[in-house]
Structure 1
Amino acid sequence: MPSPNPFRIAIIGSGPVGTLLIASVTQHPLIEYIQYEAKTLPLRPSFGCGIGPQTFATVKILNPPIYEKILEQSFTSPVWLNIRHELMDLLDGFAPEGFEVRYGLRVTNVIKSQQGRVKMSFEDGTEDNVDAVWACDGMNSLGRKLIQGDEYKPAEYSGMICFRGKVGTEKVAAAVGEELASKTHMFIGGTGYFVLIFPIVGGKYVNIACFMHEKEHKKRGRAWKTGLGDMPAYFPEANPTLLKLLEVNLMVMKNLGAFHNPDLHMTSFGDAANGMLPHMGGSMSTGFIGVTTFLHSELNPRLESLSPEASNEEIAKVITDASIEYEKKHMPLAQKLCDYSIEQGAVFTGGVLDIDEIQRRPKSLWRAATSQKVGLWE
C-alpha cells in the first residue's frame, strides 16, 4: 500500500540520462519518482545515439540487464563506436511499474517551500511540491542555472556548427561505395572542417555529421534547413545530395560549476551537469558515467541500508550525502573531458595534428570506463 506521505523526487527531462536514472535507482517503499518533460511527445532522436565502450562498461556495472539488452540490439563493427537508434525505447522498458512521465510540462522555477520541501512551477501555471529534484534537462539547463545561482555561467557558442542527417545506406553505398556505407569513418579537412559518418538502425541508415568553424553565431533556429546552395561554401568537396541536413549551433560549457544545491535539494546530471562538444564522442558516455558514480557508488548502497520505515529526514540525508560525493568524484573527470572536447575540435579543424596528441586526449574517458571502482577515476 503506497505511503500517504512519500518522499517525492522529480526528474526534469526524459532523455537517456534521466531515463537511465529512474531505470537503475534502487526502489524504496517510501520514495516516489515522477518525471517531467517539456516536449509533448517522448524523446526519440532521429539520428541515432553513439554507444562507445565507456557507455557499455558503465551500464554493465550499474544495470546488467540493460547492458545485455543494449549489447544484443546494437549494431557493432570492428571499430569502437556502436549505434543504438532505439535506445530510448529500450530504456523505457526498464522503468519501475507504475512510474509516470508527465509530458508537455516545462519547469520555470524551483524555490524553497514549507517543511523542507521545494515547489516546482510550470509554464502552464501549475505547481508541484516535491522533496528533491534531479535535473537532466540538457545543455541549456534551467536546473543548472538554479543549482549554481550567482555562480552560473550559460553555455557559450563554441564557434562551430554541425550539419547532420540520416541517409539510407543503399543511397550512400551507391554514391561512395559499400566500405564507406558500412563502417565508421572520419574525414579531416584542411580548411577547417571534418565529417564523421557511421551506420545506425542496424545498418539501415548512415548518420552523417559534418562539423565546421563559423565564428559568428547566426541565430537561424533549429527549424532552419540548409539549402543546397549553402553547402559548397562550407564543404566544397562534399556531395550536396547526401548532405540535406539540419543546422545545429554547437554550445559548450567551459567551467562546469556545481552539480548540487543543498538548499533547493537539486542535483544535475548528463548535459545539464557536464555538456560538452561531441568531438570525443564523450557526451552521453560521460553522462552515463556520472549516473553510475551517483547510483552504483553512492545512492543505491545508502538506499539499500535504509529501513523500510525510514523517515523523510533520513531519506533526504542519504540523497544529499550521495549528491555531495557524486559531485566530488565526477567533477574532475567531467571537467577534464569537457576541456579535451574543446581542444579536440581544434585538432579536427586544422589545429594540432600530431597523432600521439590526438590519441592521448580520449584516454581519460576510456580509463574512466574501465576503472575497477566506479567513481574513483584517474
Structure 2
Amino acid sequence: MAPNLNDDNSLFNFVVKEGNGVKGLVDLGLTEVPDRYIQPPHRRINKQEVAGSLEIVIIDLSELYGPNHEEVVKAIVHASETLGFFQVVNHGVPLEVLDSLKDTAHQFFGQPAEKKAVYLKEVSPSPLVKYGTSFVPENEKSLEWKDYLSMIYTNDADARESWPNDCKEVVLEYINTSTEMVQKVLKALIGNLGVKLDDSRLHELMGFNLVNINFYPACPNPDLTVGAGSHSDAGMLTVLLQDGIGGLYVKKGDQNASVGNEVWVEIPPMHGALVINVGDSLQILSNGRYISAEHRVRTTDVESRVSVPRFIAPLLTVKIGPFPELVARDGVARYKEVIYGEYLKNFFEKSLNGKKSLDFALLD
C-alpha cells in the first residue's frame, strides 16, 4: 500500500520497516521529495560552491614493485597525508569484474521490494547480510537518499552460503582480486612510518571486511537532499568502485574548518579506476600522520547511481592506538587505545557528522 507522504510514521514504515527503500518511493512517481528527506541548509551540497573536480592523484600500481617503487610509495604517502583519497589503475581487479559489479547492483535494486526485504536486519537469514536504507534511519532527523546491501566477508564458504545468489560470485571475485592490492598499499603506508608488522598483526588490522552495494535513485530535488552525509570511514582503508555519474565529494585542506568555510572537491569518475581512501583506524595508528578523509555523496536527477565500497578494517576484538614507535618519535600520543568493535559501535550509534566519530579515540 502506498504511504501517506505527509505522515512521518507512514513514510518511515513504507521505506524502512517494509523494505521499500528510496527506490520504492521513486517508483511511486514522485515529483518532489518528502519533507523527511530535506536536509538542513548546512548539510546540502551546492554544486556551485564546490571547487570543481580535483586533479586527484592517479597511481599506477603495476609500478609499485618495479624500478619506480619509491616514487609510487611517495605518491601514495603524500595523498594519504594530505587529502586521504587517491585513485589507482592497473590494480589487479579485472575490468569485467568492475563492470559486472555495476550491472549486478542495478539488477539487485531493480527487484521487487519483497525480494530485497528478506535481508532486512530484523529478518535476514544471516548476520552477514543486511539490506537497508539511509545510515541509521532510527536516529536521523533527515534521511539519506540511498538504499544499500551490506555483506560481511569471513570466508568464501560462508559468503556462498549466506549472501544473495544474484551477487555473491561477483562480489567474491571483487574481494579476492583486490586483497593483494590492499595489502601492498597498506604495507607501503605502514612501512613508510618506520613500523614493522608481522603477518599476524597485519591480519588483525585488516581482518574485518565488509562490502556494500550502494544505490542512489535519481532524485527530483537533488539540491535539497544528500546521498550520504558528511563522514569519514571507521576502518583502515576503503576501496571504492564508482560508476560514471559522479557525485562523490571530499573535504580539502583543513579538516576542522567551520561549516560554510570548508572547500569540497569532486572525485571525478574514471573508468577502470578504483578510489582508495584512508579511514579513522589508520589515522589513529599513524598518530595523525595519515588523514581519514571527510567525504559525502550528492544526489542527481539524471539517473540512478551505484557504488561498491569494500571496507577493510581491524578485527572487532583488536586494540588500536598509535604505533609505539611513532609515540616514541613524536613524544606524544594523539589518540588513546580503543577496541575497534567499541569504536565501530559508537560510529553506528549516531547519525553521520563529519569526523566527530574520531572524538571517541581522542585523549582527554
TM-score (norm 2): 0.25
Determine which structure has more spread, i.e. the larger CA radius of gyration: 1
Structure with the higher fraction of residues in strand conformation: 1
